[in-house]
Structure 1
Amino acid sequence: MTVAGRHIAIIAPPTAGHLNPLVALGTSLVAAGHRVTLVHMADVAAMLPRGDVAFAPLDHPADRQGLLAEHYRKLAQPSGPVGLPRMIRSTAAMTELLLAALPATLTRLGVDAVVADSVEPAGALVARHLGLPFVTAITGLPLLREPMIPPPFLGWAYRADALGRNRNNGGYAVSDLLMRPVTRIVTTYAQLWGLDPDPQQQWSDRLQIAQCPAGLDFPRTALPPSFRYGAPWRLDEPVDDIPESDGRPLIYCSLGSLQGARRSLFAAMTAACAAVGARAVVAHGGGLSDGDAASLPGDPLIRAFWSQTRILPHCSAAILHGGFNTVLDALAAGVPIVTVPLAFEQPATAARLKRIGAARIVAAADAARGGLEPALRHVLTDPGYRRAAGLLAAEMAMAGGAADAAACVETALRDDAIVTPAGLDLAEDRAACAA
């Protein structure tokens, strides 16, 4: 089959940070003449943003109402000796459900290609099992393992020496140990289907396409030929009613879609904004009650959701938990960041922001003790932070976003697709994708 008119399935974790950019990518693929269906639990349908991507539920009796809400409760407390193992077990159960259900579901739908999120191994493994061409979509930090790159869930600085290599090796060993529930499930199904369970096989040799710009990542020396850095994949957002200026700079404050119930941390954010003469613009994702929102100090502007890409260009800085999509949107607007990493890949994202000079890092415990105010003053008064963010904004503007990523996916899904060396000039790389 040629690339024209494919039916492409998107397989991803059931969280907004993965679904939203992939729906944007899928919408661009639909505009190019393909049929795109996101496949997951029935409860996921309500989470999808408006776009041209269809949705299909899993064909499996274990997919029941309320399963997604149970999973989210575990993701909302992802740290500590109890929370972390519980979250990993829940993630493993999600992968097991997908592995059990996807072969029949994709066959029934007549899917002939897959876009597999790098964080959910079921997508690539099922594509290999069914003999479907697939590409790897990297919606967060690139997870490709290199000796000098710290594990992606640790806030370690980059060190290109023996100490850094040894430290990273130890970190990967611990990470592998913690992730054994997921690895065990994937290995079981790979062996059942007669496939190599090596984790490297989950990465497409056709295309590995990332939202992450090269300038944000740590320096890499072993990227595969099929890897491409990129820029945020976004749907056009409605124009928000931007509040009229009262002379105070606006500071965007967000904890993403999973951590928005942390009223005390939002209070520390809005108090810090008031202390520096700024006004907080709070997006709590529905996590705060009306009473909690009304009690935040500092006269903040508060909504469950703002049109993030519309409001950020009006802001002088952002205070964020380090969620990857919000970080990319802030950088795309040239906005410097104070980051308070909480979980997942957020400490690693914060370490990269610090390295390029676009952010200051404040630990959550320090934020509760007044640590946000001096950090915010620094990013507002030192022009180096905005300059660093501006460099990333320029890089991402050249990379083209979802439409250019979709062109790369189209090229990669051709029957005669071949990979080209990584590290091409951006203009050459984009032309190659569109050819």
Structure 2
Amino acid sequence: MTEFAVVCPPYYSHLRLFEALAEELRDRGHAVHFIVNAGAAEMISAAGKGIFVHEVGRRSRHDLDRLIARAAGGGQPLSVLRTVRDAARLTEELCREAPALCRDLNIAAVIGDQMEPAAGLVARFLGLPLVSVASALPVHDDPAVPLPFLGWTYDSSEEGLKRNRGGLMVAGLLLARQKKAIARWADRFDLPELATLDDCLSTTCQISQLTESFDFPRQPSPIRHAVGPIRRQHLDDAAPPIRRDPDRPLVFVSFGTLQGHRLRLFRKIAEACRWVGADCVVAHCGGLTEAEAATIDARLVTDFVPQRAMLQEADLCVTHAGMNTVLDALDAGKPMLAVPMAFDQPGIAARIVHHGVGLRLTRGHLSARSIAACLERLLRTASFTDKARRIGRDIQGSGGVKLAADIIERAVAAPASTKRPVSKDRHVPA
């Protein structure tokens, strides 16, 4: 049995992935300890036999909810800077308390979210094997692949490589607060080789939810593994709340848990669906009040639906291009209209367009008319569905959570080149 520590940001979509991994590893006889920022424990539903949750820091759940709400504000520069500042503070909390906690729990390996540098910092400080998992788009460096938060097309020409280098320079400015936090704790942990988020990734094992058929072309690497969607085995067993009218197309609309408050946009999409003669199902994920939801003229407006079952019933999906919704739509073989808003969503939307499985609208070009034009094109052009089904078959055979657990077990069993012994009485520098 291995005692694993999971270190990830306090966002629902990230926690759901690691809950799936935790349950699979628990079922294989391991113990999994979530080490999360204060306020996040009640967001984790998998706690129980073999899965434990430990909070660090003094943050209240109310404070954490405010931080998450700020992160959902969008991709404008000021919003990005606020999100980076907030994330750096969460990293500081984890670095301050997680090492001692890991020692007390006899942690043998760390499974870290790629977006949380504390996972790499703490694992290296303690000399523990590290597995980096990408809940969102993978962040490992590839000169031909644009950064995840950029909606740029893939271009491996010299012009494209130059553009990507420029993106890295801008990212360095936007992520300055994060880099300061990494540098501070790298100095305290005596890890001079760690200076950026990329430096904090595992050097032996990195896992992502993509399949090669839905990513941009990447340089091959023996440490990078694309396993497909990492899902809990019992997820989405329920039937869809409504069935498709055989005489009308059905459009499913969801912007995930962080963007479900977009009332005006939901109204525009519902209006566009009426223009093209389609029924519309909106899942706002708890982002709207009952009174607000009642103002959307759609066949069904609700908080949550069994998403994968609903996508099987729908003809296409309108999405914020969040990783989970996009992979579920592709798994169902359904094309998408992407409206990216924040985080890695522009990069995922770029892949939707690159692979011909959907269209993209930027937030500055959103009108009922432009949305209707895209819906009409998606419904009338068979190639979008054909290509989505092709990638869907890859996803269905990708391995998912079981393959990810296999890779983690092998990685932890193998000797780690970066492992360095740390005395049990070694303390985190103040």
- TM-based fold match above 0.5: yes
- Inter-partner Cα distance in structure 2 for 1:137 and 1:190: 21
**Structure 2 counterpart SS, 1:114:** strand
1:9 to 2, 5, 8: 5
Query: How far apart are residue 48 of structure 1 and its match?
Result: 2.2
Selected match of 1:107 from 79, 83, 103:
103
2:337 maps to: 338
Residue 323 of structure 1 aligns to which amino acid in structure 2? G
Which position in structure 1 is the counterpart of 2:214? Answer: 216
In the other structure, the counterpart of 1:408 is: 407
**Any residues of structure 2 matched to 1:104-183 within 5 Å, and which?**
104-183=100-179
Cα deviation digits, residues 185-237 of structure 1 (max 9, x gap): 0111111111121434322233111111111111112x432111121011122
* Residue 270 in structure 1 maps to residue 270 in structure 2: yes
Amino acid at match of 1:216: F
Q: 2 CA distance for matches of 1:106 and 1:352?
A: 38
After TM superposition, the structure 1 = structure 2 runs for residues 4-403 of structure 1, keeping only pairs within 5 Å, are: 5-50=1-46, 54-60=51-57, 62-195=58-191, 196-199=193-196, 200-221=198-219, 223-235=220-232, 236-237=234-235, 238-247=237-246, 248-297=248-297, 299-403=298-402
Give the counterpart letter for 2:108 in structure 1: D
Is contact 2:112–2:130 with CA below 8 Å preserved after alignment?
yes
- CA shift at 1:241, angstroms? 4.4
1-side partners of 2:13 and 2:53: how far apart? 19
Consecutive unaligned residues in structure 2, runs of 5 or more: 418-430
Residues 1:245 and 1:81: Cα distance change in structure 2 (over 3 Å): closer
| TM-score normalised by structure 1 residue count | 0.90
* Shift in Å, 1:261: 0.7
Counterpart CA distance in 2 for 1:81 and 1:372 is 26
Given that residues 179 and 195 in structure 2 are in contact (C-alpha distance below 8 angstroms), is that contact kept between their aligned partners in structure 1?
no
The question of whether the paired residues in 1 share the 8 Å contact of 2:251 and 2:273 is answered with yes
Number of residue pairs matched?
A: 411
Cα distance per residue 1:269-294 (max 9 Å; x no partner): 22222222222121111111111111
Deviation of residue 76 (structure 1)?
2.0
CA distance in 2: counterparts of 1:78 and 1:263, whole angstroms? 15
Give the superposition deviation at 1:50: 4.3
SS at match of 1:409: helix
1:245, 1:328 → 2: CA distance?
Answer: 21
Which stretch has the larger CA shift, 325-334 or 84-93? 84-93
Give, as a single letter, the amino acid of the residue that structure 1 aligns with 2:320: H
Letter in 2 for 1:322: A
**Matched AA of 2:228:** A
* Partner-residue secondary structure (3-state), 2:212: coil
Query: What displacement does 1:348 show?
Result: 0.9
Q: 1:25 offset after TM fit, Å?
A: 1.5
C-alpha distance in 1 between matches for 2:249 and 2:12:
29
Measure the CA separation in 2 of the matches of 1:210 and 1:409: 12
- Alpha-carbon distance in structure 2 between the residues aligned to 1:109 and 1:307: 37
Q: One-letter code of the match for 2:209?
A: Q
Opposite residue 321 of structure 1, the aligned amino acid is H
Q: How far apart are the structure 1 equivalents of 2:294 and 2:156?
A: 48
Change (3 A) 1:245 1:219: closer
Q: Over residues 25-55 of structure 1, what are the superposed CA-to-partner deviations in whole Å (9 max), with x where a residue is unaligned?
A: 2211111111112211242122224476734
Give the distance between the partners of 1:292 and 1:277, measured in 2 at CA.
Answer: 24
Query: Is contact 1:240-1:306 (8 Å) kept?
Result: no
Render the CA deviation track for 1:142-198: whole Å, top value 9, x for unaligned: 111122111211111111111101111111100011101001101111111111214
Contact map agreement 2:111 2:133 (CA 8 A) in 1:
yes
Counterpart Cα distance in 2 of 1:188 and 1:411? 32
- Structure 2 distance, partners of 1:70, 1:101, is 22
Q: Tell me: CA distance 1:144–1:396, structure 2 relative to 1, closer, same or farther (3 Å).
A: same
Q: Summarize deviations over 1:327-366 as a string: whole Å, max 9, x none.
A: 1111111110000111111111111110100010112232
The equivalent of 2:421 in structure 1 is: none
Matched AA of 1:126: V
What amino acid is aligned across from residue 362 of structure 1 in structure 2? L
Answer with 138-147 or 311-320: which moved more: 138-147
Residue in 2 aligned with 1:425? none
Q: Residue 254 of structure 1 contacts residue 284 of structure 1 at CA under 8 Å; is this kept in 2?
A: yes
Cα distance, 1:313 vs. partner? 1.0
Question: Where in structure 1 are there 5+ consecutive unaligned residues?
Answer: 419-435
Q: Does the CA-based 8 Å contact 1:7-1:111 persist in structure 2?
A: yes
Report the residue type matching 2:224 in the other structure: F
- Contact in 2 for aligned 1:27/1:51 (Cα 8 Å): no
Which residue of structure 2 lines up, in the alignment, with residue 423 of structure 1? none
Mapped to 1, the partners of 2:65 and 2:241 lie a distance apart of: 33
User: Aligned residues: percent identity?
Assistant: 33
| CA distance, structure 2, for counterparts of residue 59 and residue 83 of structure 1 | 25
Kept in 2, the 8 Å contact 1:78–1:87? The answer is no
2:238, 2:86 → 1: CA distance? 37
